[in-house]
A and B are shown apart, each in its own frame.
Chain A
Amino acid sequence: MPLPYYVSPEQMMKDKAEYARKGISRGRSLVTLEYGDGILLVAENPSTLLHKISEIYDRIAFAGVGKYNEFENLRIAGIRHADVKGYSYSRGDVTSKALANAYSQALGNIFTQDIKPFEVEVLVAEVGDANGMKSEMYHILYDGTIEDERNYAAMGGQSDEIRRFLKEHYKEAMSLGDALQLGVRALTVTQNKTLSERDLEVAVLDRTKARRKFRRIPMEALGQLLGTAK
């Protein structure tokens, strides 16, 4: 067996990070916004079958950008984590914080130990209740870096520009329609095109719903909310 070339750890991490970032920046973006009744998740996703946004548990949703098979794996792992925990303790003991930490650990380990890092960013959102429990959003990067976000978050290709845009325009306690309009405008801030309901995947964590707060917004309803319905 020939000896492997020596690569300094610093260089290796740099290469991996660059590789992961490149992969992620090729993909389309995703935004989440807190609005009056909960949390809105909007992704640019022309597929109606391959989801970027999905339900994890009663109050918790997952969103991923980047390589589909990789964040799909993470999504399923998250559902497993939540269901086992909720079954062995109680439904109220499943928290987004524990889940976000698990994602952070997993992505961190993959980044340092595997040859190829995951080209993904994921977001874990948990809607608060009407009794003053705050909503939580955790944004986890390809190397396991974890940030908690307030009010809004953006991931994917042009996330910096989108975040800047949201910082300027975000208002608290928006209606669902207003939040959706803002989210869609944010997604198009770097591109010269408009997005119609066909290009979007939208879901909410709606705190007014009983037990399972996650709800997808179907295309017709989306058209109406965007005011593009004919």
Chain B
Amino acid sequence: MDEGHWRSLFNDYSNSSFVELLRRESPHLVPGLGPRPTSEVFEPVHGTTVLSVRYRDGVIMAGDRQATAGYQVASRRIEKIFKSDELSGVGIAGAAGPAMEMAKLFQTELEHYEKVEGENLSLEGKANRLSQMIRMNLPAAMQGLVVVPIFAGFDEKAGTGRLFKYDITGGRYEETNFDAQGSGSKDARDSLKKLWKREMGRDEALRVSLEALIDAADEDVGTGGPDLVRGIFPSVKTITRSGFGDVPDDEVKRVCEAILTERAQTGSGA
């Protein structure tokens, strides 16, 4: 056997990567590599506001449920917060189609690594991997299919929640306390800036997240607020040492109603 053959086994670091496997075996399935529209003639469906907040036990991720295409509501119930593994999640904003595909690919990537290697990637490693996947999407992003997720998770080594935001070039920026992404992100961030406190408990962090989403829905036409008529409420997830968990709809509903009632009574936030 020639020397190059066994040597290549040592140099192939991509062995545990699902994305590299897909690129080798089924390149047509890799997002961002297919043919592109030559000009921007259509309005893709957009997801709007997602946010992440660090609190005492980890991080909360929350997102509204609306997707828009131009000035139309495309969907009232889409899910924007995806579990990427037991200890991390991705909140998607931007063109909904490519963003959801990226979330699915990322989730498979982490699971693939875990199964092949027999252990999990570090949170840092996961954040970097996502950054590379966003960079792969750059040609599509230049033509309007922008995907800019938030990534958050629990760092077992550091014993704390951490969150990352991205730009379209794959630039990765760690935020210490909170961040938001999407069309209503500025309003959500403004709100979080005033409400966020160090060492918040779960209930307070949940309330702060929902206040921020309600503010975003108030100011941004693309972001959907709590829909009391249809019973659609923001989706909220917690990521702590013990894993990725849903905040039940009933609880989200209760907190949303409390916030709205209080605002109606006091006139604050109007």
Chain A residues proximal to chain B, CB less than 8 Å: 51, 54-56, 76, 79-80, 83-84, 86-88
Contacts and interface: CB of A to CB of B under 8 A. Distances in A.
B12 to A, nearest CB: 12
User: Helix, strand, loop or mixed for chain B's interface?
Assistant: helix
B29 interface: yes
B115 A86 contact: no
A55 B116 CA distance: 9
Contacts of B145: none
22 contacts: A54-B118, A55-B115, A56-B115, A76-B116, A79-B112, A79-B115, A79-B116, A80-B21, A80-B112, A83-B18, A83-B21, A83-B108, A83-B111, A84-B22, A84-B25, A84-B26, A86-B108, A87-B18, A87-B22, A87-B105, A88-B26, A88-B29
Contacts of B56: none
A165 B243 CA distance: 42
Contacts of A86: 108
A108 to B, nearest CB: 22
B115 A54 contact: yes
Contact of B29 (A54, A55, A87): A87
A84 B30 CA distance: 11
A175 B15 CA distance: 39
Nearest to A50: B118
Nearest to B29: A88
Nearest to B15: A76
Determine the interface band of chain B, counting residues with CB < 8 A from chain A.
10 to 19
Nearest to A56: B115
Interface of B: 15, 18, 21-22, 25-26, 29, 104-105, 108, 111-112, 115-116, 118
Contacts of A55: 115
A182 B97 CA distance: 51
Looking at A51, A56, A84, A88, the one whose CB has the most chain B CB atoms below 10 A away is: A84
B29 A83 contact: no
Contacts of A84: 21-22, 25-26, 29
A56 B105 CA distance: 17
A128 B213 CA distance: 42
A80 B29 CA distance: 14
Given A84-B25, A87-B29, 13 more contacts: A54-B118, A55-B115, A76-B116, A79-B112, A79-B116, A80-B21, A80-B112, A83-B18, A83-B21, A83-B111, A83-B112, A86-B108, A87-B108
Contacts of B108: 83, 86-87
Closest A-B pairs by Cβ, 9 of them: A79-B115, A83-B112, A87-B108, A55-B115, A83-B18, A76-B116, A80-B21, A79-B116, A88-B29
Nearest to B25: A84
Nearest to B83: A211
B87 to A, nearest CB: 14
A25 B104 CA distance: 43
A56 B118 CA distance: 11
A156 B105 CA distance: 37
A51 B119 CA distance: 12
A200 B163 CA distance: 39
A87 B101 CA distance: 10
Contacts of B22: 84, 87
A76 B108 CA distance: 15
B114 to A, nearest CB: 9
Nearest to B111: A83
B104 A87 contact: yes
Contacts of B112: 79-80, 83
Contacts of A83: 18, 21, 108, 111-112, 115
Contacts of A88: 26, 29
Contacts of B25: 80, 84
Nearest to A55: B115
A55 B115 CA distance: 6
